[in-house]
Amino acid sequence: MDTVFEDAKTAIARVRDGDTVMCGGFGPAGLPVRLIDALLESGRRDLTIISNNLGQPGKGLGGLLRTGQVRRVIGSFFSGNPEVAAAQRAGGLEVTLLPQGTLAEAIRAGGAGIPAFYTPTGAGTVLAEGKESRVFEDGRTYLLERALQADVALVHANRSDRLGNLLYRGVAQNFNLAMATAARLVIAEVGEVIPTGELAPAEISTPHLYVDVVAVPQ
Protein backbone atom coordinates (compact mmCIF):
# COMPACT_ATOMS: atom_id res chain seq x y z
CA MET A 1 0.00 0.00 0.00
CA ASP A 2 1.12 3.56 -0.70
CA THR A 3 2.24 5.75 2.18
CA VAL A 4 -0.40 8.33 3.13
CA PHE A 5 0.56 12.00 3.61
CA GLU A 6 -1.59 13.92 6.11
CA ASP A 7 -1.42 16.70 8.67
CA ALA A 8 -0.58 15.64 12.25
CA LYS A 9 -4.15 15.95 13.55
CA THR A 10 -5.59 13.77 10.80
CA ALA A 11 -2.79 11.22 11.16
CA ILE A 12 -3.15 10.90 14.93
CA ALA A 13 -6.89 10.28 14.59
CA ARG A 14 -5.87 6.72 13.68
CA VAL A 15 -4.84 6.11 17.31
CA ARG A 16 -7.55 4.50 19.44
CA ASP A 17 -8.32 4.46 23.15
CA GLY A 18 -6.38 1.67 24.86
CA ASP A 19 -3.64 1.52 22.21
CA THR A 20 -0.01 0.78 22.98
CA VAL A 21 2.00 3.64 21.48
CA MET A 22 5.76 3.71 20.93
CA CYS A 23 7.22 7.20 20.83
CA GLY A 24 10.70 7.89 19.53
CA GLY A 25 13.13 10.46 20.85
CA PHE A 26 15.93 10.85 23.36
CA GLY A 27 15.24 14.07 25.20
CA PRO A 28 14.38 16.59 22.46
CA ALA A 29 16.41 14.75 19.79
CA GLY A 30 14.15 12.91 17.39
CA LEU A 31 11.00 13.66 19.39
CA PRO A 32 7.80 13.77 17.25
CA VAL A 33 6.55 16.94 18.92
CA ARG A 34 3.69 17.71 16.53
CA LEU A 35 2.31 14.19 16.80
CA ILE A 36 2.50 14.28 20.61
CA ASP A 37 0.65 17.60 20.65
CA ALA A 38 -2.00 16.16 18.33
CA LEU A 39 -2.33 13.08 20.55
CA LEU A 40 -2.82 15.32 23.58
CA GLU A 41 -5.48 17.30 21.73
CA SER A 42 -7.21 14.12 20.55
CA GLY A 43 -8.17 13.15 24.09
CA ARG A 44 -7.31 9.48 23.52
CA ARG A 45 -7.19 7.67 26.86
CA ASP A 46 -6.07 4.47 28.55
CA LEU A 47 -2.83 4.54 26.57
CA THR A 48 0.29 2.48 27.16
CA ILE A 49 3.34 4.55 26.21
CA ILE A 50 6.65 2.89 25.32
CA SER A 51 9.37 5.54 25.30
CA ASN A 52 12.77 6.27 26.80
CA ASN A 53 11.11 8.77 29.16
CA LEU A 54 7.79 10.50 29.78
CA GLY A 55 8.78 14.05 28.96
CA GLN A 56 8.89 16.80 31.56
CA PRO A 57 6.10 17.99 33.87
CA GLY A 58 3.27 19.08 31.60
CA LYS A 59 5.48 19.00 28.50
CA GLY A 60 5.63 16.51 25.66
CA LEU A 61 4.53 13.09 26.84
CA GLY A 62 4.32 14.61 30.31
CA GLY A 63 1.28 16.50 29.09
CA LEU A 64 -0.50 13.20 28.41
CA LEU A 65 0.27 12.07 31.94
CA ARG A 66 -1.06 15.28 33.47
CA THR A 67 -4.35 14.96 31.59
CA GLY A 68 -4.78 11.34 32.68
CA GLN A 69 -4.51 9.89 29.18
CA VAL A 70 -1.74 7.40 30.10
CA ARG A 71 -2.52 4.19 31.97
CA ARG A 72 0.90 2.51 31.72
CA VAL A 73 4.40 3.55 30.75
CA ILE A 74 7.38 1.39 29.78
CA GLY A 75 10.74 3.12 29.67
CA SER A 76 14.15 3.79 31.17
CA PHE A 77 14.50 7.35 32.44
CA PHE A 78 11.71 8.92 34.45
CA SER A 79 13.64 11.13 36.89
CA GLY A 80 13.23 14.10 34.53
CA ASN A 81 9.50 14.07 35.30
CA PRO A 82 8.76 13.67 39.04
CA GLU A 83 5.05 13.45 38.22
CA VAL A 84 5.65 9.88 37.00
CA ALA A 85 6.66 8.66 40.47
CA ALA A 86 3.88 10.67 42.08
CA ALA A 87 1.27 9.14 39.76
CA GLN A 88 2.60 5.64 40.43
CA ARG A 89 2.46 6.13 44.21
CA ALA A 90 -1.09 7.43 43.91
CA GLY A 91 -2.08 4.31 41.98
CA GLY A 92 -2.95 6.16 38.80
CA LEU A 93 -0.07 4.91 36.66
CA GLU A 94 1.56 1.53 36.06
CA VAL A 95 5.31 1.90 35.52
CA THR A 96 7.63 -0.71 33.99
CA LEU A 97 11.28 0.28 34.30
CA LEU A 98 13.79 -1.30 31.93
CA PRO A 99 17.53 -0.65 31.58
CA GLN A 100 18.08 1.45 28.49
CA GLY A 101 19.93 -1.24 26.55
CA THR A 102 17.26 -3.78 27.44
CA LEU A 103 14.56 -1.39 26.24
CA ALA A 104 16.33 -0.85 22.93
CA GLU A 105 16.88 -4.57 22.40
CA ALA A 106 13.29 -5.42 23.36
CA ILE A 107 12.03 -3.04 20.66
CA ARG A 108 14.52 -4.37 18.11
CA ALA A 109 13.50 -7.94 18.93
CA GLY A 110 9.84 -7.02 18.55
CA GLY A 111 10.54 -5.71 15.07
CA ALA A 112 12.58 -8.79 14.16
CA GLY A 113 9.92 -11.25 15.31
CA ILE A 114 11.99 -12.53 18.25
CA PRO A 115 9.63 -13.10 21.20
CA ALA A 116 12.20 -12.90 24.01
CA PHE A 117 15.92 -12.82 24.79
CA TYR A 118 18.29 -13.36 27.70
CA THR A 119 20.43 -10.57 29.18
CA PRO A 120 22.59 -10.35 32.33
CA THR A 121 21.54 -6.72 32.85
CA GLY A 122 19.39 -6.37 35.96
CA ALA A 123 20.09 -9.85 37.34
CA GLY A 124 20.29 -9.80 41.12
CA THR A 125 18.39 -6.50 41.40
CA VAL A 126 14.77 -5.55 42.03
CA LEU A 127 14.34 -5.42 38.25
CA ALA A 128 14.65 -9.21 38.23
CA GLU A 129 11.57 -9.75 40.39
CA GLY A 130 8.99 -11.94 38.66
CA LYS A 131 11.24 -12.67 35.67
CA GLU A 132 12.54 -16.04 34.57
CA SER A 133 16.30 -16.44 35.01
CA ARG A 134 18.86 -18.94 33.80
CA VAL A 135 22.55 -19.64 34.42
CA PHE A 136 24.49 -20.41 31.26
CA GLU A 137 27.88 -22.06 30.73
CA ASP A 138 29.76 -18.90 31.66
CA GLY A 139 28.31 -19.10 35.18
CA ARG A 140 26.44 -15.80 34.91
CA THR A 141 22.75 -15.35 35.62
CA TYR A 142 20.63 -14.04 32.77
CA LEU A 143 17.11 -12.66 32.79
CA LEU A 144 14.50 -13.50 30.19
CA GLU A 145 13.13 -10.26 28.76
CA ARG A 146 10.09 -10.13 26.51
CA ALA A 147 10.13 -8.31 23.19
CA LEU A 148 8.06 -5.15 22.80
CA GLN A 149 5.58 -4.41 20.05
CA ALA A 150 2.95 -1.71 19.71
CA ASP A 151 -0.28 -0.81 17.99
CA VAL A 152 1.21 2.50 16.85
CA ALA A 153 4.71 3.97 16.58
CA LEU A 154 5.20 7.74 16.46
CA VAL A 155 8.60 8.56 15.00
CA HIS A 156 10.41 11.67 13.80
CA ALA A 157 12.60 11.90 10.72
CA ASN A 158 14.44 14.76 9.09
CA ARG A 159 13.21 13.99 5.59
CA SER A 160 10.80 11.78 3.69
CA ASP A 161 10.53 11.31 -0.03
CA ARG A 162 7.16 10.93 -1.75
CA LEU A 163 7.29 7.16 -1.25
CA GLY A 164 7.74 7.49 2.53
CA ASN A 165 11.42 6.53 2.76
CA LEU A 166 12.86 8.20 5.87
CA LEU A 167 16.18 9.89 6.58
CA TYR A 168 17.12 10.72 10.18
CA ARG A 169 19.57 13.40 11.27
CA GLY A 170 22.49 12.12 13.37
CA VAL A 171 21.60 11.01 16.89
CA ALA A 172 17.92 11.84 16.26
CA GLN A 173 17.78 8.32 14.86
CA ASN A 174 17.91 6.90 18.45
CA PHE A 175 14.81 4.77 19.19
CA ASN A 176 12.97 5.88 16.05
CA LEU A 177 14.73 3.40 13.77
CA ALA A 178 13.79 0.29 15.78
CA MET A 179 10.30 1.53 16.67
CA ALA A 180 9.44 1.91 12.99
CA THR A 181 9.80 -1.88 12.65
CA ALA A 182 7.91 -2.90 15.79
CA ALA A 183 4.40 -1.46 15.40
CA ARG A 184 1.30 -2.35 13.42
CA LEU A 185 0.86 1.30 12.35
CA VAL A 186 3.81 3.67 11.87
CA ILE A 187 3.22 7.43 11.73
CA ALA A 188 6.29 9.48 10.86
CA GLU A 189 6.54 13.20 11.56
CA VAL A 190 9.00 14.74 9.12
CA GLY A 191 10.67 18.08 8.73
CA GLU A 192 10.65 18.06 4.93
CA VAL A 193 9.12 16.08 2.08
CA ILE A 194 11.33 15.84 -1.01
CA PRO A 195 10.78 14.32 -4.47
CA THR A 196 11.33 10.61 -4.87
CA GLY A 197 14.83 9.90 -6.15
CA GLU A 198 16.59 12.65 -4.21
CA LEU A 199 17.54 10.23 -1.43
CA ALA A 200 20.41 7.93 -2.32
CA PRO A 201 19.66 4.30 -1.37
CA ALA A 202 22.45 4.36 1.22
CA GLU A 203 20.89 7.42 2.90
CA ILE A 204 17.56 5.72 3.60
CA SER A 205 17.30 4.67 7.23
CA THR A 206 13.71 3.39 7.28
CA PRO A 207 12.36 2.02 3.97
CA HIS A 208 8.87 3.10 3.01
CA LEU A 209 7.50 -0.44 3.43
CA TYR A 210 7.56 0.19 7.21
CA VAL A 211 5.86 3.59 7.02
CA ASP A 212 2.09 3.90 6.85
CA VAL A 213 1.49 7.64 7.34
CA VAL A 214 3.74 10.69 7.01
CA ALA A 215 2.66 13.75 9.00
CA VAL A 216 3.69 16.64 6.79
CA PRO A 217 4.85 20.07 7.98
CA GLN A 218 2.17 22.75 8.10
Q: Where are the domains of the chain?
A: 4-215
How far is CA 178 from each of CA 4, 10, 22, 67, 86, rounded to the nearest angstrom? 21, 24, 10, 28, 30
Give CA–CA dist 22/84, Å, rounded.
17
Residue 86 has pLDDT above 80, yes or no: yes
How far is CA 28 from each of CA 8, 22, 48, 61, 216, rounded to the nearest angstrom? 18, 16, 20, 11, 19
Pairing, β 94-97 against β 116-119: unpaired
pLDDT given at position 36: 98
Is CATH 3.65.10.10 the classification given to domain 4-215?
A: no
CA 46 to chain centre: 16
pLDDT band at 217 (very low <50, low <70, confident <90, very high): confident
pLDDT given at position 15: 98
Average pLDDT over residues 97-120: 98
Q: Which helix (H) or strand (E) holds 193?
A: strand 183-194
SS3 at position 18: coil
| Mean pLDDT of all residues belonging to the chain | 96
pLDDT band at 71 (very low <50, low <70, confident <90, very high): very high
Percent pLDDT > 90 in the chain is: 96
Average pLDDT over residues 142-146: 97
Q: What is the DSSP letter of 178?
A: H
Residue 1 has pLDDT above 80, yes or no: no
pTM of the model: 0.95
Residue type at position 146? R
Tens of pLDDT, residues 5-64: 999 999 999 999 999 999 999 988 999 999 999 999 999 999 999 999 999 999 999 999
How far is CA 120 from each of CA 61, 116, 148, 214, rounded to the nearest angstrom? 30, 14, 18, 38
pLDDT given at position 154: 98
HEC-encoded secondary structure of 45-112: CCEEEECCCCCECCECHHHHHHCCCEEEEEECCCCCCHHHHHHHHCCCCEEEECCHHHHHHHHHHHHH
By the 8 A CB rule, do 159 and 194 touch?
Answer: yes
SS3 at position 19: coil
pLDDT band at 118 (very low <50, low <70, confident <90, very high): very high
Give CA–CA dist 106/87, Å, rounded.
25
Residue 218 has pLDDT above 80, yes or no: no
pLDDT band at 2 (very low <50, low <70, confident <90, very high): confident
Q: Which helix (H) or strand (E) holds 40?
A: helix 33-42
Give CA–CA dist 159/135, Å, rounded.
45
Tens of pLDDT, residues 150-189: 999 999 999 999 999 999 999 999 999 999 999 999 999 9
By the 8 A CB rule, do 190 and 165 touch?
Answer: no
